[in-house]
Amino acid sequence: MLSQPSQQYRPYPPIELPDRRWPQRVLSAPPVWCSVDLRDGNQALAVPMNVSQKLELFDALVRCGFKEIEVGFPSASNTEFAFNRTLIEKGHIPDDVTIQVLVQAREDLIEKTCESLMGAKRVIIHLYNSTSPAQRRVVFGKTKAEIKDMAVRGAEMIRERIGRLAGTDVRLQYSPESFSATEVEFAKEISEAVMGVWEPTAERRMILNLPDTVEVAMPNVYADQIEWMGRNIRDRESLIISLHTHNDRGTGVAATELGLLAGADRVEGTLFGNGERTGNLDIVTVAMNLYMHGIHPGLDFSNLNALRGVYERCTGMSVPPRQPYAGELVFTAFSGSHQDAIKKGLAEWEGKGCEGVWDVPYLTIDPGDVGREYREVIRVNSQSGKGGVAYLLESEFGIDLPKDMQREFGPIANDAVDRLGREVSGVELKGMFWDEYVGRESPWRLNHFHADGVDGVFRCRASLEREGVELQATGEGNGPIAAFVQALVAAGAPEFAVASYREHDLGSGSGASAIAYIQIRCEDGRTRWGAAVDTNIELAGVKAVVSALNRVD
């Protein structure tokens, strides 16, 4: 890296807009959405999709609720052309869905594009040419006037051919490509020149797409550019102002959201942000950001796992694990304090009957709204705390540990996971719990237990083993467990008392097991928890005493 980057790089100049209005605005409705997965997304793939893959992804986009879908650049290749014809001739396009096609301002390309649309019900023809100083100088070697003439001539060629598309509802779209790096005055001038050819009206509006083709400034500058255009271009009511952001600075979502505040009506983007370089706008993120603020985006992402599967299968790309809303880990907490807060927040939500305003710590939305399950919320690794351990045992196996037992088992589980050096599954965690508590049979082992009670006094007989030596013990107390404690002490166990007891069912029905948790306190003040499972709840409690005793050092 350069020691003085200012010698080679310059900040993008701000827009003169001292009375900007967008910072005070609040979004209250979704934009018009246009997916460009089949064009911008497809061109950015190392191996572009074939026709069958594009069809599968097209159908998935329709199911999500997209009403405008850019299906390709039909003049670019035979595959692109054939895909258009397949969509139209095989009846894949619902009546309320408009397909969009991209074309440069060249007569041969416009001619082939129009041929590809014959017989379609609803189409958008998207004309573009690059307008930034670097594009004018490096790519075209043309003046502003020559670049404007190129756009006007392209608009005229499209206008001349619209009549051939009899029975087709044709809408027109123009993009001054590289708008974000173009002088706003020139972007306005060239856009108005195209408007002069197409003559849009408030009843028949034209789409003016203002792309952040390459992010060259902070997102607030893009918002200023959008607001400036909306306030200064003529006949604004005859335009649908559209955004198309890329992610070179990692702020494509922010630029889009600020652009909407600045007055844009429409958004182009791709599922999960697939696109050139660092990608296009991730439409899922912007749509779900609206959703979490109480605005339905008009798109259905209620099964993001399935949509992600289609996307990955068709494109060969993968969704990063930290991708907002869709990533594998976005509803996962590894931090113990996070896990504890999530567990308590979910319990409160369920206690309210899953109604009211969502306000669960660390989770911006209910994972169930996008087809995820609560059991996916928390995983356990060596950084996890008692809350995460307890949540996973309860959510997957119904093992509801008492609070004090959580404090005891949490560090034990974390030490075991730390030795493994990786995340553990719920099954592995349950195995750790079983090994530590339920499966403990040394030094004490219970072979047989029987208790009878008369007038509140219980007497028990127990057959035990201590380090392999069989013992017979009897005891008396105000309950079976109290009698058993006396029997154990009489058989040589150290003095102890039961400090806490809890039990609950593990399932339902006559054959269901119960689990008992018992905490004992030794004479020196030390406490230990034990746990046991049995179809007889009384016997589960007795076994839990043995479990706790076996954990006394």
Same-domain pairing of 60 and 159: yes
For residue 375, the model assigns a pLDDT of 60
The answer to whether the CB of 444 falls within 8 A of the CB of 466 is: yes
Any domain includes 18: no
Which of 70, 64, 120 lies closest to 91, judged by CA? 120
| 384 lies in the same domain as 272 | no
Q: What pLDDT does residue 510 have?
A: 61
For residue 551, the model assigns a pLDDT of: 94
Q: Are residues 430 and 469 in the same domain?
A: no
Judged against a pLDDT cut of 90, whether residue 426 lies above it is answered with no
- 358-374 per-position pLDDT tens digit: 999 999 999 999 998 76
- 424 and 451 fall within a common domain: no
Same domain, 481 and 509: yes
Q: Which of 420, 436, 452 is the last residue of a domain?
A: 436
What is d(CA 241, CA 112) in angstroms, rounded to the nearest whole number?
27
Q: Is residue 537 part of a domain?
A: yes
Give the pLDDT confidence of 128-178 residue by residue, as tens digits: 999 999 999 999 999 999 999 999 999 999 999 999 999 999 999 999 999
Which pTM does this prediction carry? 0.80
Residues paired with 448 in a beta bridge: 463
| Tokens matching residue 59 | 């159908």
- Residue 436 identity: E
129 Cβ contact list (under 8 Å, min separation 6): 104, 105, 147, 150, 151, 154, 176, 177
Considering the domain architecture, whether residues 66 and 146 belong to the same structural domain is answered as: yes
Closest CA to 400 of 511, 506, 546: 506
Out of 436, 469, 492, a domain closes at 436
In which element (H, E) is residue 42 found?
helix 42-43
Percent of the chain with pLDDT over 90: 85
Could you tell me if 307 and 372 lie in one domain? no
Q: Is the peptide bond before 176 cis (omega within 30 degrees of 0)?
A: no
Region 496-508 average pLDDT = 90
pLDDT of residue 391: 81
Same domain, 186 and 307: yes
What whole-number distance in Å separates Cα of residue 402 and Cα of residue 405? 5
Assess whether 224 and 75 both reside in one domain.
yes
Using the 3D structure, point to which of 436, 456, 490 is the last residue of a domain.
436
- Tell me, yes or no, whether 22 lies in a domain: no
* Same-domain check for residues 57 and 167: yes
Taking the C-alpha atoms of residue 49 and residue 309, their distance in angstroms, rounded to an integer, is 15
Determine, yes or no, domain membership for 302: yes
Q: Can you spell out the DSSP letters for 398-424?
A: -----HHHHHHHHHHHHHHHHHHTS-B
Looking at residue 374, its pLDDT comes to 63
Res. 199 pLDDT band, cuts 50 70 90: very high
56 domain-assigned: yes
Please tell me the distance from the alpha carbon of residue 49 to that of residue 312, in angstroms, as a whole number.
Answer: 11
pLDDT at 421: 84
The answer to whether residue 324 sits within a structural domain is: no
**Residue 247 and residue 163 share a domain:** yes
C-alpha 81/C-alpha 112 separation (Å) is 8
We report the CATH number of the domain holding residue 487 as 3.30.160.270
Q: What is the pLDDT of residues 11-39, one digit of tens each?
A: 999 999 999 999 999 999 999 999 999 99
Does residue 296 form part of some domain? yes
Its domain, for residue 396, covers 336-436
Same domain, yes or no: 153 and 252: yes
Residue 9, in any domain of the structure: no
Structural domains of the chain, count: 3
Q: In the numeric block, which tokens belong to residue 224?
A: 């200023």
